[in-house]
Amino acid sequence: MAQAALLTGVEEFIAEHVLPLDDEHDGNVEAAGGESLRVRLQAGARERGLLTPHGPQDLGCLGLGMVERASVFEAAGRSLFGPMALNVNAPDEGNIHLLDVVATAVQRERYLRPLVQGEVRSAFAMTEPAPGAGSDPSLLTTTATRVAGGWLINGRKWFITGADGAGFYIVMARTSGEPGDPGGATMLLAPADRTGIKVDRHIGTIDHSMLGGHCEVTFTDVVVPDDDVLGEVDEGFRYAQVRLGPARMTHVMRWTGAAQRAHEVAIQHVASRRAFDGRLADLGMVQQLIADSEIDLAATRALLLQACWELDEGGRASASTSIAKTFAAEALNRVVDRAVQLCGALGVSNELPVAKIARELRPFRIYDGPSEVHRWAIARRAIRRVSGS
């Protein structure tokens, strides 16, 4: 499918079949039907040739590169349910990318194929309660101990997105060293029905559009055979970079779509609302808010495309993805906050979609690395580049 036709198809599908459900249920995916909603929407996307467009071509997908994904994922992101409908939502989208790069032929058939076809969901289990891995992944405490023919996982994870109802987990566990060591982690694949895996609870958060919630999960003597080790033993942190950079950029793509919608709703409101002897849109202070949001959206897209180009060229793009993610997380929040302000009382109600977008977008400044951690990394790279130390 040509890029232009794909984009048009996505825009029409989202507008006609996804946005109405999203708005009806105020972006709450469980209230809208949860897993049954996903199955129904993905069936519609599949019929139109829109499902998992970034997945590998050898598994029947379109194999979109990072730059090619940008406009398509943004169009999906106009609805909070849109990424789920196209199977480009977190964490599945990032896991598809990781498995495509790292998985063996057997693992591709066992895990990647059903994932790209929408037959199952997945989860990426890395984050742990203190003193375990969070913004500093080297603090990893979950262990995988060598046993005959495989590994035994023990540990506790939390804020694991999509864990409830996932078909399998990619588990980050320590196979050597101690918490705080820069290496020694391994990724392991574990079907969700494996003995010893328990979803303990959903952690209540302000966002409600992520299917499967953000959960606390316990792994107790979970057996993983050698065939389900993803990549090389003790190289898990290195493989995490395969996933994290692109996944941060696809987050930017999706949230840009949501922020763009909020911005457009606000413009429509001030263009039609009359007060003070004229349209709100004719007031200078209103026009400044609109202009600032236009600038934030344009700058976000420019930084995003630069990072995506570097990734498509085979680079790690560590600096550009951190810069783009940090700027976007804050700029898009500014865009949506201005939209709330421009819409007045309606902006904090469920009469318009602006309030729910503000609610769902706010965690992006924390998820996939808080802005402060990215700034620290950006500064360290700059200091090394200039001073050599």
196, 70: one domain: no
> Which of 196, 217, 232 delimits the end of a domain?
232
Number of domains in the chain: 3
The tens-digit pLDDT sequence of the chain (389 residues) is 788 999 999 999 999 999 999 999 999 999 999 999 999 999 999 999 999 999 999 999 999 999 999 999 999 999 999 999 999 999 999 999 999 999 999 999 999 999 999 999 999 999 999 999 998 999 999 999 999 999 999 999 999 999 999 999 999 999 999 999 999 999 999 999 999 999 999 999 999 999 999 999 999 999 999 999 999 999 999 999 899 899 999 999 999 999 999 999 999 999 999 988 899 999 999 999 999 999 999 999 999 999 999 999 999 999 999 999 999 999 999 999 999 999 999 999 999 999 999 999 999 999 988 999 999 999 999 999 999 87
Give the separation between CA 370 and CA 363, rounded to whole angstroms: 9
- Per-residue CA distances from 258 to 29, 254, 337, 354 (Å): 16, 7, 12, 9
DSSP β-bridge partners for residue 224? 151
Number of other residues whose CB lies within 10 A of the CB of residue 249: 29
Whether residue 65 is found in the same domain as residue 155:
no
Nearest to 125 by CA among 86, 164, 80, 87: 164
Please indicate, yes or no, if residue 330 is contained in any of the structural domains: yes
Instruction: Please check whether residues 204 and 248 belong to one and the same domain.
Output: no
CA dihedral angle for residue 77, residue 89, residue 117, residue 223, rounded to 10 degrees: 180
Domain shared by 370 and 255, yes or no: yes
Q: What is the CATH number of the domain that holds 348?
A: 1.20.140.10
Residue 265 in domain: yes
Tell me the CATH number at 192: 2.40.110.10
For residue 106, being part of any structural domain is answered with no
Prediction pTM value: 0.96
Residues 256 and 166 in one domain: no
Residue that finishes a domain, picked among 177, 211, 232: 232
Q: Which domain holds residue 142?
A: 122-232
Same-domain check for residues 377 and 251: yes
